[in-house]
Amino acid sequence: MKTVFGTFNDAAGNPVANGRVFFALSQDAVASNNTQVSHSLISFNLNGSGAFSGSIFFNDELFPSGVTSYTVTVLTAGNGLVYGPETFQLTGPSFNLNTAVPNSQGILVQALAFQKQIFTSSGTFTIPANITQVKATVTGGGGGGGGSSTTVGGDGGGAGGTAIKWLVNLTPANTIIVTVGTGGAAGLANASGGNGVASTIASGTQSITTVTGSAGLGGQGFGFGAGLGGGATNGDINITGSPGEQTIFISGSSQTIGTNGGSSALWGAGGGLGGNNTTGGAGTSPGGGGGGAGANGALAGGAGAAGIVLFEWIG
């Protein structure tokens, strides 16, 4: 059985307080647990706001499959008709009667919507009611850009890696622990940028395999090497972040331009810009590496961008 819910008003826009909603199954059927379901009326009481929530066998739990439907009727407390009869086919993890739309046969079906929760800092994801599958995207923090010397620019930091995982067989109201990795610190003058921190999702009350977007590495100071992009583990798709760029020497000059930080393959160009006689730019898109500093005096690189964790589901 699954949850069906809705709210009803009368023609004047007033809640159908203390009324009733009736569901009539189109024919006898057998539920997935082998329970016989007759087509007698099933009813629920509306509260003072005209709302109800109740459990009922959905049509996608009934056999023969694909042929049953429910006729829905709403009556006031005095048995006056305010809605229906309308024909619904109840499918999906839950069903909101108020957002149903007609299909090609005129039967009202669930208008499912994409839902999401974004974590830009660490926290806890609670699995929504009636949801058993979610998609998780986990991106690690980017590495910081390297600082420059008076003559040599800094190298860009690497981008964080991204793991994409479809989590199934979840239990609503259980929790998943979310860690969002910070970006690496900007490299000071004559110093390398800091490494980013990995992002993860791990078991809370819901048992899952830990999924990791590894961190990008910091760019080296004064041209000693760009930061590598982070990898990823235990995703259904694992994406390595782009490395930072190596310092570019300008022909005929001892001055050098700092180089760009790596960008995330998923979140687009977001590595910090390398400095041209300036400090390096900070990473912008999630997991972007910081840019290396340009050489004009000893300057600092740019900080890496923090990672991100995104959960998506339909319901």
Round to whole Å and give the CA distance between 97 and 100.
5
pLDDT in tens, 106-156: 899 888 778 899 999 999 999 987 789 999 999 999 999 999 988 889 999
| Domain end call among 63, 85, 109 | 109
* Terminal-residue alpha carbon distance, the chain: 16
Say what the pLDDT of residue 110 is.
83
Place of tokens 């299909």: 103
Query: Can you list the positions of beta strands (E) in 29-172?
Result: 29-31, 36-37, 41-45, 51-56, 62-63, 70-75, 81-88, 94-96, 101-102, 108-109, 114-119, 123-126, 134-139, 162-167
Coil/strand/helix, residue 223: helix
Query: What is the mean pLDDT of the segment spanning 3-11?
Result: 93
Question: Does the pLDDT at position 254 exceed 80?
Answer: no
> Does residue 105 sit in the same domain as residue 136?
no
Q: Is the pLDDT of residue 264 over 90?
A: no
Amino acid at 308: I
Structure tokens given for 195:
């490494």
User: Are both 87 and 155 inside the same structural domain?
Assistant: no
Tell me: the pLDDT tens digits for 171-184? 999 999 999 999 99
* pLDDT digits 0-9 by tens, 199-242: 999 999 999 999 999 999 999 987 789 999 999 999 999 999 99
User: In this structure, are 148 and 39 located in the same domain?
Assistant: no
Q: What is the CATH number of the domain that holds 15?
A: 2.60.40
Are residues 50 and 191 located together in one domain of the fold? no
* Structural domain count of the chain: 2
| Unique residue bearing structure tokens 């622990």 | 177
Q: pTM to 2 decimals?
A: 0.72
Q: What is the pLDDT of residue 31?
A: 87
Check whether 32 has a pLDDT greater than 90: no
What domain range is 262 assigned to?
113-315
- For the ranges 34-43, 104-113, 186-195, the maximum mean pLDDT occurs at 186-195
The answer on 84 and 229 residing in a single domain is no
Query: Are 152 and 301 part of one and the same domain?
Result: yes
Task: Answer yes or no: do 166 and 206 share one domain.
Answer: yes
Note whether 298 and 177 are same-domain residues.
Answer: yes
Of 57, 85, 109, the position where a domain reaches its end is 109
Q: What kind and span of H or E run contains 233? A: strand 232-233
Choosing from 109, 140, 168, the residue where a domain stops is: 109
b/e per residue, 6-20, with b = 16+ CB within 10 A? bbbebeeeebbbebb
